[in-house]
Structure 1
Amino acid sequence: MSHLKLLKVLDLPDNKIQKFSKNAMEQLNFVFDSLDIGIHLAGNVLQCSCNAIEFIEWILDKNEYFPEKNKIKCKFLNDTDIFLTEFKITMLQLKKNCSSRSVLIISVTIAIALMLIILTFGIVYRYRWRLRYIYYMTKSKYTREYSTQHDNHNYTYDAFLSYADDEQDFINKECIPILEERGNLQLCIHKRDFLPGNEILHNITTSIHESRNVICIITKSFLESYYCMFEFNMARMESIYARNGQNMLFLVFYEQFRASDLPLVMLELVEKDSYIEYPNDEQKNIVFWEKLKEAMT
């Protein structure tokens, strides 16, 4: 428009114009600096909305270029309208309302985002062990360490032995001699049988998958150990998702516990009688080991 040197009037009445674009306002500002023109907008009903605040403020600021401003109407979203000459009175209220609306939109958006985040974390937390089990099984499959031995019952180990380091003497002096050397069972002992160089959690999941059963030596140290509880929960996932619910997890209570001291998922196994207590008595020990060997075969 700047090339129209003789332009005096921009006649735009009754054109259903609601607002000017930002680019149009910038061009007109340039024209105003070089030409003395008048813009006629009579008969156009402008927007009195949050989207048009910048345009309305621009007209009020440049009102000398709008000689028919007393004939220009501005309509609100509720279909009420006022003449532009009266708009200065309601401009502050509109800006306040728009500001409140923006705050409301931002607040609702943040609230929805937080709800989605909390919901996502809730779902991930609820299914955390299943997700981790699937992750390590998938990793084993794609690194060609995954096996389907359970399909033909040809396992590498008769039992995976899960225990805390504090019970190492019990493992070395009783479990290995009685179950392996005299009981002819092949145990998976992490300090002896895990593949060096592999990630420990990957070793755990793969070894559990390759074992017919899992024996957990339950002590206070076991319950406080991250790796022991990881082994326990991976064994649960293996039982549910790879063995069709087959009971392959056995708890050996090496210490006495109250029910309130045990995790709920462990209490579920106790209720199913999938546990045995270590008697620490010479005569009863014989029965204990026989029952355990019988459960493993």
Structure 2
Amino acid sequence: MLLHLKYLRTLDLQYNNFLSFDEMDRYIIDMLRNTTFDFKGNIFECTCQYIDSLVWLNRTTNVRNNLICKDGTEVSIILQDIHYFWLKCLSEFWLDFSVIVLLLLMVTLLVVTIGYRNKSFVMYLYIKLKARRHIRQREAETRRHYYKYDVFVSYSHLDYDWVTGQLFQYLSNGLSLEVCLHQKDFIPGEPIASEILRCVESSRKTVFVITRNFLASKWSMMEMDIARHHVFNNDNDTIIVILKEDIPVHEMPVSLRKIWWRIVCLKYPQNDSRFEHEVI
């Protein structure tokens, strides 16, 4: 807006809250060459952080020379030897940079020295960690062979037709997986909670078919809690979520949101190839 005021001769900006002149401020003032700007009473930052602003003040001609720094020094005094001020800022930067580099070198040297003096321990630690990783992989592979089911499907009874029809056919016939479902695999007469736990622990993966019906079911919430504890106790990622309806994450149960970063979330009817990859 100011750029259109071609006949503006003086702009009084005394006693405001200007700390420095940013790039836009400098551009506007430079464009209004016939306008005098009065910034008296504004307390300016005269530190190396604002060196660009001070260098600009040294060459501009339409800002009145009555500026004061925060420490009480007149800006004009700094501008009298701006080259010295610039060199001082440059030396401070390189001093800080050198200190940081030196500290990093010292820490690196210390780590290398400690590692060299204790190389047998470092080698032992490396071998132990590598062996532990190998053991975990082997245990996971062993558990995989001993799972009774490939996948346990958790769903609301109101979604029974779709799960036992389309999804079950896809998993069992299309992917040749052993599928665990409430209706066919729960042992009659046993407590539901214990059957849920048995099915989760006997399955490589647990698939939750998330719908509004699922979120309203207390048994579905119990299955989700049991699966969540199973994930953390066994330190593996075994949960797959199928979003059959468009439900935002913030409406998901708290127990599911807590492990959202560890689950595989797929939208139906998309991601068939990814679903096959994650399950198999």
TM-score range, shorter chain: 0.3 to 0.5
Q: Which has the larger radius of gyration?
A: 1
Give the TM-score normalised by structure 2.
0.47
Give the TM-score normalised by structure 1.
0.44
